Amino acid sequence: MQQTLAKLNIVGAGPGSPEYVTPAARKTVQQAEVVIGAQRSLNLFAEDIKGETMVLTAKNLNSALKFAVESAEKGKNVALLSTGDPGFSGLLRTVLKSSLVKTVEINVVPGVSSIQACAARLGISWDDACLFTFHEGNVTAEEKNKLLSCLKEGREAMLLPDSRAFPPGKIASFLLTAGLDKATPVVVCENLTLPDEKVISGSLEQVSKQAFEPLCVMVIKVNREVKGS
From first to last of its 229 residues, the chain has per-residue pLDDT tens of 445 789 999 999 999 999 999 999 999 999 999 999 999 999 999 999 999 999 999 899 999 999 999 999 999 999 999 999 999 999 999 999 988 888 899 999 999 999 999 999 999 999 989 999 998 778 999 999 999 999 999 999 999 999 999 999 999 999 999 999 999 999 999 999 999 999 999 999 999 999 999 999 999 985 444 334 4
Each residue of 143-168: pLDDT tens digit? 999 999 999 999 999 999 999 999 99
188 contacts: CB under 8 Å, gap ≥ 6: 168, 199, 200, 202, 207, 212, 216, 217, 218, 219
Go through the domains of the chain in sequence order and give each one's CATH number.
6-112 (3.40.1010.10), 115-220 (3.30.950.10)
Q: Measured between alpha carbons, how far is residue 64 from residues 69, 104, 113 in Å?
A: 9, 15, 23
Q: Which residues contact 169 (CB under 8 A, 6 or more apart)?
A: 207, 208, 209, 210, 211, 212
Per residue in 3-40, pLDDT (tens digit) is 578 999 999 999 999 999 999 999 999 999 999 999 99
What global pTM score does this model have?
A: 0.90
**Distance (Å, whole) CA 95 – CA 86:** 10
Integer-rounded Cα radius of gyration of the chain: 19
